[in-house]
Amino acid sequence: MHAETPTRSPNDAPLTPLRFLARSAEVFPSKPAIIYGERRLSYAEFRDAAERMALAIRARITPGDRVAFVAPNIPELLIAHYAVPLAGGVLVALNPRLSRDETVYILNHCGARLLFVDAEFTPVLGDVRAAVDTLTGVIEIADPEFGPAASPSSGPAGERDLGHTPLEAFLAFGDVVSDAMAHPLVWDIDDERAPISINYTSGTTGKPKGVLYSHRGAYLNSLGEVFHNSFRPDSVYLWTLPMFHCNGWCTTWAVTAAGATHVPLRAVRPATVWAAIDDLGVTNLCGAPTVCSIIANADEAHPLVKPLNITTAGAPPSPTVIEQLERLGITVVHVYGLTEVYGPYTICEYQPEWDLLTSAERAVKIARQGVAMVQAESARVVDSAMGDVPRDGITIGEIVLRGNNVMLGYFNDADATAEAFRGGYFHTGDLAVMHPDGYIEIKDRAKDIIISGGENISTIEVENALVSHPAVLDAAVVGVPHPHWGERPKAYIVLRPGHDASAEEILAATKLLIAGFKVPDYVIFVTDLPRTATGKIMKVTLRAA
């Protein structure tokens, strides 16, 4: 279905990840592209599925419209990473663990035209069309690995009782419409700097911000992932990393670029992960340190014969876990990045001389955030005047980044974009030191983001939810170490005079406003909160308490 563009220069082709699937379907048409439960898709079938979905989407949107997905790691979400841009849309993959209010806010903010929802999450979202004016359709995905759709068909023309269109009915609509279309799908683009996706991150404002990725940035980051992960056609990639998070660190596109095999996982469970490793010959996976811990401490864990590489980020991996994995024959690579830079930006590039270190010494080296990836510009650690801090491993400064893998900006938020890009660099808000060997190491998070199980939690968002309780006068939330999740939120709460409420009551009310994983694990009632002379809460004091 490819159409030539006769006006294009013979020495210029705009960069887009769409090219990766088009090529792999040409070069490896019969090779396994997706293995998911009992389902098997070759690369030719992967391409065909993307084209079928794209035709149905294109018939319902105009170029540049946003198409949202609320789903776990299922083949349909992977296919959407090609189908949505192929249709001319912009993909918005959302965390299915968000509350209904959070999801509705994002859908309204991005002006989503279509929403695809996995049937497991239909009861949580309900019918959101009345709450999102821009929506013209909600499509429900019934995944056999989860079970039948949440509600039986009961309406006209295959509509479900919530007004959702079953995916097959939606695709069939596209089949009919495509017969009358005069122009075929085109597996390239005119403007490589056009948006391909929007990824939402809480940031520090408490309200999610939409991070714009371009076709060009996604293409280049994907090639960096191919290089640093050593993806090859015989690689088998296990999806322990959520595809909704930075488009799976762009590995949704990178694995396809290599012609490797995707193995989506609906949920990360020790037995399932180890079964995939043993039965499917998994060679690579990515995930937060929590995933590393799950694998290392599983009952099924055993030394491997075939090499397995894990790329981890989100928080510094525990040296203890790194040592555990090394003993199993698993290599751990630590990367650092943010949603605003397409996921990973720096990598702890392994040095041969580290072989001479003890395993404990080597684990400390590997836990650092490292140096720029091949597609990225060198990271800087700067002081308040934008001067580079000494490479002494002691002086703390802020990590600032620039280059092809910095976002286009925040969607519909010029002020936040300007603030993030001040001085010609993207300001991460992460505080780090620069070691003599040029490797960076994070020491604190200036934005007070809590990273729990690889997912970001905005302390301000949680504080706002806590303070909404009528008995709460003030609240502060900090991250505290957790042996499994890396960090968990801890709340310090000041009650209003004359009011009384238990921690359980406050947390139950909070859980109605924000996602469950953001709700604090610990609550401490205090009479006041430590503040600076300017009124700012001294969270460093609370963390040390």
* CATH number of the structural domain spanning residue 454: 3.30.300.30
Task: Pick the last residue of a domain from 209, 226, 245.
Answer: 209
Whether residues 70 and 162 share a domain: the answer is yes
> Would residue 226 count as lying in a domain?
no
In a domain, 257, yes or no: no
Exposure b/e, 464-485, CB count within 10 A at least 16 = b: bbbeebeebebbbbbbeebeeb
Q: Do 371 and 474 share a domain, yes or no?
A: no
Same domain, 384 and 472: no
Give per-residue pLDDT as tens, 169-225.
Answer: 999 976 666 655 557 899 999 999 999 999 998 644 468 899 999 999 999 999 999
Same domain, 60 and 178: yes
Last residue of a domain, one of 425, 445, 465: 445
Does 454 fall in a domain? yes
pLDDT, one tens digit for every residue, the chain (545 residues): 444 444 678 999 999 999 999 999 999 999 999 999 999 999 999 999 999 999 999 999 999 999 999 999 999 999 999 999 999 999 999 999 898 999 999 999 999 999 999 999 999 899 999 999 999 999 999 998 876 544 433 333 344 467 799 999 999 976 666 655 557 899 999 999 999 999 998 644 468 899 999 999 999 999 999 999 999 999 999 999 999 999 999 999 999 999 999 999 999 999 999 999 999 999 999 988 778 888 988 999 999 999 999 999 876 666 677 888 999 999 999 899 999 999 999 999 999 999 999 987 887 888 889 999 999 999 999 999 999 999 999 888 899 999 999 999 999 999 999 999 999 999 998 888 899 999 998 876 666 778 888 787 878 778 888 988 999 988 999 999 998 898 999 999 999 889 999 999 999 999 998 999 999 999 999 999 987 543 557 888 898 88
Has residue 528 been placed in a domain? yes
**Same-domain pairing of 495 and 533:** yes
The answer to whether residue 512 is domain-embedded is yes
Q: Which of 419, 445, 471 is the last residue of a domain?
A: 445
Mark whether 195 and 65 lie in a shared domain.
Answer: yes
**Cα 428 to Cα 425: distance, rounded to the nearest angstrom:** 9
Question: Rounded to whole angstroms, how far apart are CA atoms 132 and 155?
Answer: 22
Q: Domain check: are 363 and 477 in the same one?
A: no
In terms of phi and psi (left: phi > 0; alpha: psi -120 to 50; beta: otherwise), the region of 485 is alpha
One domain, residues 398 and 465: no
254 within some domain: no
Report the domain count for the chain: 3
Token couple for 444: 């604190």
Whether residues 455 and 439 fall in one domain: no
> Same domain for 357 and 477?
no
Q: Residues 377, 237: contact at Cβ < 8 Å? A: no
pTM given for the model? 0.83
The CATH number of residue 341's host domain is 3.40.50.12780
Do residue 470 and residue 439 come from a single domain?
no
Residue 13: inside a domain: no
- Please check whether residues 58 and 125 belong to one and the same domain: yes
Q: Which domain holds residue 462?
A: 450-544
Residue 10 inside a domain? The answer is no
